[in-house]
Amino acid sequence: MPCQLIERMAACDDCRTFAVDYGLNLINSRRPGANPRDWEMPLTLTRIHLDDHLITAHAEWLPERRPGCDTCEAWRGDHTIGPIDEAEALHRAWHLCEPLQEVCAPGVHELTYLM
Ligand SMILES: [Zn+2]
Ligand SMILES: [Zn+2]
């Protein structure tokens, strides 16, 4: 069974497109002999599309502030009522997509659920 994030994304065409784009770049960037510098740009670009989509279309998926995360803790002092600002939303999208880091590892084939 795929992880919960993959399962949710599988139901949305845009998620599938953006997550597969990002995931394939992630997998290629981790191949033996890959030069991290060659992958910085495609990873950043595909990630921006994915995060943008998650924040606008699936804001309800964004996790709460993560205890133990310095960045989340830094926001703790701010007000928690009303919409969160964009920087924080992007950071929470990063937490949301953490499973993708594991899914896009050698020998793991969960990304194929989105193809
Ligand atoms: Zn989506
Ligand atoms: Zn955090």
State pLDDT tens for residues 57-95.
Answer: 999 999 988 989 998 888 766 656 666 788 899 999 999
User: What is the reported pTM?
Assistant: 0.89
Ligand nearest the Cα of residue 9 is 1
Indicate if the pLDDT at residue 19 is higher than 70.
Answer: yes
Distance 32 CA to ligand 1 centre (A): 31
Q: Determine contact, residues 76/89, Cβ cutoff 8 Å.
A: no
Q: What is the pLDDT of residue 74?
A: 83
Distance 15 CA to ligand 1 centre (A): 4
Distance 48 CA to ligand 2 centre (A): 17
Reference 63, options 106, 83, 93, 21; nearest CA is: 93
